[in-house]
Amino acid sequence: MGKFVNSIEEFFSFCQENDVKYVDLRFTDLKGTWHHVTYRASAINEDNLTNGFPFDGSSIDKWQPINKSDMILKADVPTAFLDPFTADPTIIIFCDVYDIYKGQMYEKCPRSIAKATLKHAESLGIADAAYFGPENEFFVFDDVRVIDNINEAGYKIDTEEGDWNSNTHYPDGYNSGHRGGVKGGYFPVAPIDTQVDLRAEMMDVLEQVGLEVILGHHEVAQGQGEIGIVFSDMIGAADNVQKLKYVVKMVAHLNGKTATFMPKPLFGDNGNGMHVHQSLWKDGKNLFYKEGNYANLSEMALNYVGGIFRHAKALASITNPSTNSYKRLIPGFEAPSILTYSMQNRSASCRIPYGAGEKTTRIEMRFPDSTACPYLAFSALMMAGLDGIKNKTVPVGPMDEDLFELSLDEIREKGIPQMPHTLREATEALIADNEFLRPVFSKTFIDDYQHYMFERQIWPDESRPTAYEFKTTYSC
């Protein structure tokens, strides 16, 4: 699949051919949430497509103050595609944000930061292309209920695949009994896999919006799935994450279900990750490939991995930016919390995919998750990797033993570094270690980002008692 339009002229022709009535302008905030404003197609012209559309930046969390709220959305016209869900023909366009006060692309716009990252890499003369392939896992549930009050808190999730429903009496009086159980969801066919048709619909719609879909399958946990799409350049890959999350959630919603990319919604079962495949290229050559080396990895690739590992604690605040993220990064659930690399080994933070040749050799960072803003996550990973190349940082490894079985004591004894254990630890690391980001992430961005993490995630979570705390401390 490719672009639907390549120019403003083609955009108007495409709109006319498809009887488009509305144009939906979309942009992304610090936490990766997609926002939009919808124009009548009749209000769109060459001038505003070129020069931009005004909007209020003060209403977006941690963006502009109210006395400097006016900002501009700059449409990236070749990203346009038809919304498959609206009643009236609507075309969606990805936008970047422009700062009218500084006369430049907005320093807090994630998509603009990603573009600046690519320009920075080119300016260093290291690479002229960067390819990213994210793998976003998700859950599909039948019902989700949440309580968050001053005197009560809790949640209840349900899926017909849940082992807890083995003795449920359903209204029609029928319980199939076909369930994979905890960690039993990897690849069983229907009727254990109840999401075959739902994933197929998701895959079809993803193709409609321009993604090239490879496969879909049930994942390890109850109610969990994954859809694989073809890699892209860094901006395209991040755009594709936004499309994929939108389509997966909407297809589930229209089928009377609810989809989530939350890292750890189920206690005691596997969580959702966003494994990120990466490679750097120059003049059509894969810079990460060196035949005969371990896993055919070049020295540059190892240094790139070394840079990511060196800054992993700080990176985690961006690649794993929720308190729930760290409930996934614990031993025992294929969670890649050990900072080493390995060929084929899925329990290492960096896996080198099996059988990769010159065109397909790449690294796969397995610790990020989908609560991350994809533009920020990919940019931060790349900046850490470039720092590793600059400083020739050597990562711990390779380690091909079964890291999955190592205890925390054994990990410490072997001197293997680990991911941070909490969002607080990660964010404090970012405060202390951010110089590697600073060529493209401004001081203002870092300051506002860390304040957002504390104010919206860390402090609210730390101040709330949990059900488990009542179980362990109420009778003390």
Is 120 one of the catalytic residues? no
**Catalytic pick among 366, 369, 387, 428:** 366
- 137 carries a ligand binding annotation: yes
Is 137 one of the catalytic residues? yes
**Contact between 127 and 281 (Cβ < 8 Å):** yes
Tell whether the model's pLDDT for residue 186 goes beyond 60.
yes
Spans of all domains in the chain:
8-106, 129-473
8-106 and 129-473 agree in CATH topology: no
**Catalytic pick among 219, 239, 269, 387:** 219
**pLDDT attached to residue 348:** 86
Is 226 one of the catalytic residues? yes
Tell whether the model's pLDDT for residue 410 goes beyond 90.
no
Of 111-120, 230-239, 396-405, the poorest mean pLDDT is in 396-405
Tell whether the model's pLDDT for residue 414 goes beyond 90.
no
Q: Of 178, 139, 146, nearest to 269 (Cα)?
A: 139
Mean pLDDT of 233-246: 98
Tell whether the model's pLDDT for residue 351 goes beyond 60.
yes
Give the global pTM.
0.96
**pLDDT attached to residue 335:** 66
Tokens of residue 47, six digits: 């001038």
Instruction: Summarize pLDDT for 271-304 with one digit per residue, the tens.
Output: 999 999 999 999 999 999 999 999 999 999 999 9
Mean pLDDT of 397-424: 82
Instruction: Summarize pLDDT for 27-58 with one digit per residue, the tens.
Output: 999 999 999 999 999 999 999 999 999 999 99
Mean pLDDT of 70-77: 97
Question: Using 50, 70 and 90 to split pLDDT, how confident is the model at 2?
Answer: low
**pLDDT attached to residue 99:** 95
**pLDDT attached to residue 334:** 61
HEC string for the chain: CCCCCCCHHHHHHHHHHCCCCEEEEEEECCCCCEEEEEEEHHHCCHHHHHHCEEEEHHHCCCCCCHHHCEEEEEECHHHCEECCCCCCCEEEEEEEEEECCCCEECCCCHHHHHHHHHHHHHHHCCCCEEEEEEEEEEEEECEEEEEECCCCEEEEEECCCCHHHCCCCCCCCCCCCCCCCCCCCCCCCCCCCCCHHHHHHHHHHHHHCCCCEEEEEECCCCCEEEEEECCEEHHHHHHHHHHHHHHHHHHHHHCCCEEECCCCCCCCCCCCCEEEEEEEEECCEECCECCCCHHHECHHHHHHHHHHHHCHHHHHHHHCCCCCHHHHCCCCCCCCCEEEEEECCCCEEEEECCCCCCCCCCEEECCCCCCCCHHHHHHHHHHHHHHHHHHCCCCCCCCCCCHHHCCHHHHHHCCCCECCCCHHHHHHHHHHCCHHHCCCCCHHHHHHHHHHHHHHHHHHHHCCCCHHHHHHHCCC
Mean pLDDT of 238-258: 98
**pLDDT attached to residue 354:** 77
Mean pLDDT of 410-415: 78
More confident: 346 or 178: 178
**Catalytic pick among 29, 107, 239, 364:** 364
**Catalytic pick among 83, 137, 161, 428:** 137
Tell whether the model's pLDDT for residue 173 goes beyond 90.
no
Tell whether the model's pLDDT for residue 347 goes beyond 70.
yes
CA 410 → CA 256, 403, 405, distances in Å?
Answer: 46, 10, 10
Q: How many CB atoms lie within 10 A of CB 72?
A: 19
Residue 413 CB partners (closer than 8 Å, separation 6+): none
**pLDDT attached to residue 400:** 82
Q: What's domain 8-106's superfamily in CATH?
A: Glutamine synthetase, N-terminal domain (3.10.20.70)
- 364 carries a ligand binding annotation: yes
Mean pLDDT of 135-158: 97
- 435 carries a ligand binding annotation: no
Tell whether the model's pLDDT for residue 256 goes beyond 60.
yes
- In this structure, which amino acid lies at residue 27? F
Instruction: Summarize pLDDT for 385-406 with one digit per residue, the tens.
Output: 999 999 999 998 898 877 766 7
Tell whether the model's pLDDT for residue 1 goes beyond 60.
no
**pLDDT attached to residue 415:** 80
**Catalytic pick among 83, 107, 226, 269:** 226
Tell whether the model's pLDDT for residue 73 goes beyond 60.
yes
**pLDDT attached to residue 26:** 98
- 277 carries a ligand binding annotation: yes
**Catalytic pick among 135, 201, 425, 448:** 135
Q: What's domain 129-473's superfamily in CATH?
A: Glutamine synthetase/guanido kinase, catalytic domain (3.30.590.10)
Output the average pLDDT for the chain.
94
Question: Using 50, 70 and 90 to split pLDDT, how confident is the model at 328?
Answer: very high
**pLDDT attached to residue 397:** 86
Is 366 one of the catalytic residues? yes
- Say how far apart CA 202 and CA 390 lie, in whole Å: 42
**Catalytic pick among 346, 425, 448, 461:** 346
Tell whether the model's pLDDT for residue 332 goes beyond 80.
no
Instruction: Summarize pLDDT for 302-322 with one digit per residue, the tens.
Output: 999 999 999 999 999 999 999
Q: Of 242, 245, 235, 239, nearest to 202 (Cα)?
A: 245
- 334 carries a ligand binding annotation: yes
Of 147-151, 205-209, 319-323, 394-398, the poorest mean pLDDT is in 394-398
Tokens of residue 368, six digits: 């990020």
- 279 carries a ligand binding annotation: yes
Is 212 one of the catalytic residues? no
Is 145 one of the catalytic residues? no
**pLDDT attached to residue 412:** 78
Is 311 one of the catalytic residues? no
Mean pLDDT of 97-113: 97
**pLDDT attached to residue 340:** 92
- 156 carries a ligand binding annotation: no
Q: What size, in residues, is the chain?
A: 476
**pLDDT attached to residue 331:** 66
